[in-house]
Amino acid sequence: MADARRALGEFLRAHRELLRPEDVGLPAGSRRRTPGLRREEVAAVAGVGVAWYTWLEQGRVTASRQVLEAVARVLRLDRDALRHVLTLSGLAAPTPATPMDPALLAAARTLLDGLPTSPALLLDDHFDMLAWNDAYRAVWGDPAALPLPRRNLMWVMAADPHARAVLHDWQPLAMTVFQQFRGQASVTDARTSEVYALLERDRPDLTHWWQCPSVATLTMREAAVETPSGPVTLLFSLVRPVDDPRALVLLQTPATPADHDRMREITAACA
């Protein structure tokens, strides 16, 4: 719990430093030695004590949902960032600690195999890859060839040379995948720490990513990928099965009939 409180404090401080007094209706005042709002300004606008808010950023106290929502409004946090704050505070619904039901995995594999022209991937809450279909292998390579600790979507997007070569505009999608991962992964979980350690080791040049406080949801978006048969435009979307809140299906649907035909061709060639 101490690690989560510390992470919460760092998250709030990072967002406080992004704001100016005029962003929250305060006068700009004199020149500041440090960027962003002062702690006493956040406390005043949120209606809490300065000492208490300082302790909150230092990870020394816990807060109610009402107080955290007030602080989030002052810091202009969006819905995804507020959800992350509540998760770090222990106020979001906990996820089960047990392994995923084998029946869910079997059903998901059947679902993925029923999408012959759409690359599809089943992920858990750490973004570890649990199942994939032939269309996914045809575009992105076979996850089974990766060492198990690196069989993770975040690692693939950041550190796999093949993924970077395939994806035409790599950075925006990779960053959004990381923001989604950061928003839902538990900071006190051993596997989360392992994934971060692998990213630091394998992509030290992206340390500024791993230290970035932003979170987001991967909403539907188009991205172009390069295939042996030429470029294909895919519509990326996340679907959460109702059977287990930790499960995510990443779907990549061909955007046009021509893209469907090209995916059918390359999937058949890799079968």
Domains, the chain: 2-88 (1.10.260.40), 102-270 (3.30.450.180)
Low-confidence ranges of the chain (pLDDT < 70): 1, 24, 28-34, 92-98, 185-188, 242, 271
By the 8 A CB rule, do 19 and 36 touch?
Answer: yes
pLDDT of residue 257: 94
Residue range 33-64, pLDDT digits in tens: 667 888 888 888 888 888 888 888 888 888 88
- The DSSP secondary structure of 45-84, one letter per residue, reads HHT--HHHHHHHHTT-----HHHHHHHHHHTT--HHHHHH
pLDDT of residue 27: 72
pLDDT of residue 234: 96
Which residue in 151, 165, 161 sits closest to 198, CA to CA? 151
Distances in whole angstroms, Cα of residue 169 to Cα of each of 110, 121, 148, 235: 31, 20, 27, 14
Give me 253's structure tokens. Answer: 């649907």
- In DSSP terms, 21 is beta-bridged to none
pLDDT of residue 69: 84
3-state SS, residue 13: helix
Q: What is the CA radius of gyration of the chain?
A: 21
Q: What is the dihedral of CA 256, 260, 265, 270, to 10 degrees?
A: 120
